[in-house]
Amino acid sequence: MRTIKIRRMMILSAALLLGPILSAGCTRIHDKPAAEVLHLVLAGMAGSDGVSFEGASSLLLDGNPAPEASLFYGGTVSDHNKVSLHTFLPDGGTPQTAAGAGENKLKSSSAAAAAYYTRLEKKNGQWTLLQEDSTASPDNPLPALNPLRQLEELENLEIEVSEEAGAARGTRVLRIELSEPEAGRQLAAELEGQMKAIRPDTSGSEQKETGKEEEALQLLWEKKNNELQQKLKEVSVRTVYYLQVDTKRNLPKRLTCTRRVNDPANQGTTGGGAEEIYLTEVNFYGYR
């Protein structure tokens, strides 16, 4: 009997000693620094089999919405590296959970009627457009809105990560700001990619008139590209992401991005174009 009592006391003592240690370990998981939480979330997203998402994007020019640039979209991720995206109307009968604070402004847009569909697959570290199953038009905005690519980018950009106070229970909200040079490089890469997509193909011209037309288009493209490069040197760019994290599963719930582009040369001019604000938001649900 005495032996049993001694064993019980030893077990109880061990429990009393281990209890605070285990509790402290759980607390540390929730109290990890914001940058480490971001790394864990990105790793968790990469390991997820699939997820559905809905999003919205809009553009403000000097504080005024540009309806032609407003877009609602949705899609799915499957097999870790395949993404399907499609546009839809904000009032077409599908519940809209991704419009966020800009929902009322975006609903006034008639441009959302433009229909696009895109399928992407990651091959050799690059996201590849599957042309046979996609809207292959150069003005298709969906490839740039691939939420997996947006999250992956954060791993390699120059960023400062902090945490926002007042997050809902069971979540943390990370504030991720790009350095100003990095924000400029990111914008330049995106715009240069768009310019490359619409560059005229001047190879294989057989008819003289057709050749002249293509040459004129090439000259026009070069002019616009030079203007773009000059403008990129003049503007200042500030880009901030907010990532809402499900702390139970260490997976994203919502990702928003605000990019402010200011052109000091046009500051104060009539009709100005002094500031452009590009807003995107995507909500994730139905993890598999």
Q: Which domains does the chain have, with CATH numbers?
A: 35-192+235-285 (2.50.20)
Q: What is the DSSP letter of 54?
A: E
Please state, in angstroms and rounded to a whole number, the distance separating the CA atoms of residues 30 and 185: 34
Mean local confidence (pLDDT), 195-218 = 74
Tell me what the pLDDT averaged over the chain comes to: 80
* pLDDT confidence bin for 68, thresholds 50/70/90: confident
What is the percentage of the chain residues whose pLDDT exceeds 90?
55
User: Has residue 203 got a pLDDT over 90?
Assistant: no
42, 278 in Cβ contact below 8 A? no
pTM of the model: 0.78
Please state, in angstroms and rounded to a whole number, the distance separating the CA atoms of residues 13 and 1: 18
Let me know the angle formed at the C-alpha of 250 by 244 and 254, rounded to the nearest 5 degrees: 25
User: Which amino acid is located at 115 in the chain?
Assistant: A
Dihedral angle sign, alpha carbons of residues 116, 122, 124, 127: positive
How many C-beta atoms surround the C-beta of residue 80 within 10 A? 13
Digit-coded pLDDT (tens) for 70-127? 999 999 999 989 999 999 876 644 433 333 333 333 333 444 446 889 999 999 889 9
How many C-beta atoms surround the C-beta of residue 212 within 10 A? 11
- The phi, psi pair for 196, rounded to 5°, reads -65, -35
Please state, in angstroms and rounded to a whole number, the distance separating the CA atoms of residues 74 and 174: 23
Digit-coded pLDDT (tens) for 238-256? 999 999 999 999 999 999 9
User: Has residue 258 got a pLDDT over 70?
Assistant: yes
Please state, in angstroms and rounded to a whole number, the distance separating the CA atoms of residues 57 and 282: 9
Helical ranges in 164-262 per DSSP H: 180-197, 208-234
Q: What is the CA radius of gyration of the chain?
A: 25
Token match 């294989």: residue? 204
Q: What is the DSSP letter of 167?
A: P
Helical ranges in the chain per DSSP H: 2-30, 34-47, 103-107, 147-154, 180-197, 208-234
Please state, in angstroms and rounded to a whole number, the distance separating the CA atoms of residues 265 and 151: 33
Please state, in angstroms and rounded to a whole number, the distance separating the CA atoms of residues 259 and 104: 20
